[in-house]
Amino acid sequence: MSLDPSRRDSTGTAASPAPPSDPIGTAPEPSAGGTAPRAAVDWRLKFLLLALVWGTSFMFIGISGQYLEPVQITLGRMLTGVVPLAGFLLLSGSRLPRGARIWFHLSVTAFIVNLVPFTFYGYAGQLIPSAVSGIVNAATPLFVVLFSLLLLPDERPTRTRTAGLLVGFLGVLVVFGVWTGFAGASAAGLLMALGATVGYGIGTPYLRRFVAGSGYSSLELVTAQLLTGTVQIAVVALVFTDAPQELPPHAVAAVTALGVFGTGAAFLLQYGVIREAGVTVASTVTYLAPIVAIGAGVLLMGEHLAWNQPVGALVVIAGAALAQHHRRTGAQPPGAAGGAPAGTRAPGR
């Protein structure tokens, strides 16, 4: 697979045409009026892979949380996520973005999308069941819609897309049988999970507005984002936490899986979905993640499904399909749905 992004001039602007194909969404975005390169991997496959890696993340957080503090989990996750991406960046001949402005926005994105949610979910996992965290996390698209109205004036949700978001959220509630109530759930844990969800809701349109149209490839942007986030959380971990007393191999493996798959690869895929399908569509992956978590429990942990869980799964899928309906019926060309805000140079994410 060839990853040979265009060379750039001293301003960081693409100075030569992008490659004709972009297997994983890593090619640089074109300048205004240009044509976006078509990815060999369809955005729907990237969408499903995102659901897989993020749906299993709660399991790995639970394992690592038995031995590490939430901040340490975040540090390990960020570090193991950025190292392979940095190696891939070097091997591909790419380089990190240049310019104070893009690095500022990447630092903000890392704080909002990585540090806050990862750490908050670590704390929430100590106070509430992972199923409850999954339910709260499913509210991400609703917060994305809210903050998209503030940050992305050209990507206003339609009635159909909004209905899809609501149906999907209803499906998540059915999956977990919420009519039984949240008996014994910690208010602090719920607030932590809600704070993580709000972070995703703010960070996704922020990324679309200020980062996705920068002209750099997904690989370059994700690597830089995780790099600056790793530096931020490393300072916090060194100042406020002590070294773990015990760290068995399976805990190390759990953190590594969170980093390599749930962080590095996942955010690279997310950039691709955002650029090809739009910000609201990308956010609906949180509806499928709880379904994946249930599947992992059945296949790996020997758990059994209640009647409401497969029924809820169907509702979730229906909601996600409804939210994505504009992709099939819209007249815009590929890459134009949810087009870039005024002043940016990229097609829609």
List, for residues 23-75, the tens digit of each pLDDT value.
333 344 443 344 445 566 788 898 999 999 988 888 888 888 889 999 999 99
Beta bridge partners of 38: 21
Residue 243's Cα: distance from chain center in Å? 29
Model-wide pTM > 0.85: no
| Whether the Cβ atoms of residue 296 and residue 55 lie closer than 8 Å to each other | yes
Q: Which residues contact 343 (CB under 8 A, 6 or more apart)?
A: none
| Whether the Cβ atoms of residue 282 and residue 320 lie closer than 8 Å to each other | no
Q: Domain boundaries in the chain?
A: 43-153+184-278
Distance CA 285, CA 127 (A): 25
Q: Is pLDDT larger for residue 314 or for residue 203?
A: 203
pLDDT band of 140, cuts 50, 70, 90: confident
Distance CA 100, CA 219 (A): 19
Helix axes 218-240, 70-92, angle to 10 degrees: 150
Query: Which range, of 91-95, 124-128, 163-167, averages the lowest pLDDT?
Result: 124-128
| Whether the Cβ atoms of residue 14 and residue 31 lie closer than 8 Å to each other | yes
- pLDDT of 17 > 60? The answer is no
Residue 110 buriedness (CB in 10 A; 0-12 / 13-18 / 19+): buried
Quick one: what percent of the chain has pLDDT higher than 90?
26
pLDDT band of 348, cuts 50, 70, 90: very low
pLDDT for 10 equals 35
Distance CA 8, CA 169 (A): 43
Tokens of 194: 């809600």
SS3 category, 254: helix
Q: Is pLDDT larger for residue 4 or for residue 184?
A: 184
Helix intervals (H) in 93-217: 100-109, 116-127, 130-137, 140-151, 159-175, 187-210
Distance CA 133, CA 135 (A): 5
Q: Is pLDDT larger for residue 183 or for residue 236?
A: 236
Mean of per-residue pLDDT scores for the chain: 75
Quick one: what percent of the chain has pLDDT higher than 70?
74
Of residues 120, 160, 154, 125, the one with CA closest to residue 140: 120
pLDDT, tens digit (0-9, with 9 covering 90-100), for 187-243: 788 789 889 988 988 998 898 888 877 888 888 998 999 999 999 999 999 999 998
- pLDDT of 327 > 80? The answer is no
What would the mean pLDDT of 6-27 be, rounded to a whole number?
34
What would the mean pLDDT of 139-153 be, rounded to a whole number?
78
- pLDDT of 4 > 60? The answer is no
| Whether the Cβ atoms of residue 55 and residue 293 lie closer than 8 Å to each other | yes
Q: 240: how many CB neighbours lie within 10 A of its CB? A: 10
Percentages helix, strand, coil for the chain (3-state, rounded to 5) are: 65, 0, 35
| Whether the Cβ atoms of residue 94 and residue 220 lie closer than 8 Å to each other | yes
| Whether the Cβ atoms of residue 37 and residue 21 lie closer than 8 Å to each other | yes
pLDDT, tens digit (0-9, with 9 covering 90-100), for 236-274: 999 999 988 889 999 999 999 999 998 888 877 887 888
